Structure 1
């Protein structure tokens, strides 16, 4: 086959120049997500670029709940920790009342004393 079309030539020349060398993921299989998950690429983009602001409010609040101990890790003082938890609970209450998403997703508030007890245990204060 002596015929090389324009696209093949562009690829060959770029390869010869090394433009495809040392790319992220080189030599690894392409991850196309879970079978049947048509939005795998969106999830990966949100995770990779930490685009929490692009999430619906209720999901962002759930993520904050999930990460509360990480948020509190550098906090010094019970009152400061209590204020952070109370602020999150206020935003959860507000989001549950407003429900701006098409499908309402209600988020349960944190038990302040339970979260504080875990925080204190992690800080070595209990």
Structure 2
């Protein structure tokens, strides 16, 4: 951007500010959501799907699995007993295994099978 363009942009911002267009914006005075957290490679897609309330069914299978793994602790915490937790993890691992073996729509998986015993231990600790 040239110096002349930058001055033009600055002038437009100052004029909009003088008109009060930046007053009472949603989230004014609040910290930016997610600040201080590491960004995933597809952060923009997560943000847009959350903002537009896009359900898991609308996502490509690879992103759907990624979202499920991201939300796994909350999903497991909603289950009542260890047998249900193990069954849910086994079912998830079947789908992850299929995605790792064959072609899948969406970005490549950046995770592998879940360690069922480790996930069950973590589930027990969160319940305590």
Same fold (TM over 0.5): yes
Runs of 4+ that moved beyond 3 A = 42-45, 102-107
Please say if residues 69 and 119 of structure 1, whose CA atoms lie closer than 8 Å, have aligned partners that are also in contact. Answer: yes
Quote how far apart the aligned CAs of 1:86 are. 0.7
2:73 aligned partner: 69
- Shift of the 81–29 alpha-carbon distance from structure 1 to 2, 3 Å rule, reads closer
1:78 aligned partner: 82
Residue in structure 1 matching 2:54, options 41, 50, 57: 50
> Distance between the aligned counterparts of 1:29 and 1:123, measured in 2?
36
Residue in structure 2 matching 1:28, options 25, 47, 50: 25
Q: Which has the higher contact order (CA 8 A, sep 6+)?
A: 2
Q: Structure 2 length normalisation: TM-score?
A: 0.58
Kindly name which structure, 1 or 2, has the bigger radius of gyration based on alpha carbons.
1
> Distance between the aligned counterparts of 1:44 and 1:115, measured in 2?
26
1:91 aligned partner: 95
Q: Structure 1 length normalisation: TM-score?
A: 0.59
Unaligned runs of 5+ in 2: 1-22, 28-43
Quote how far apart the aligned CAs of 1:110 are. 0.5
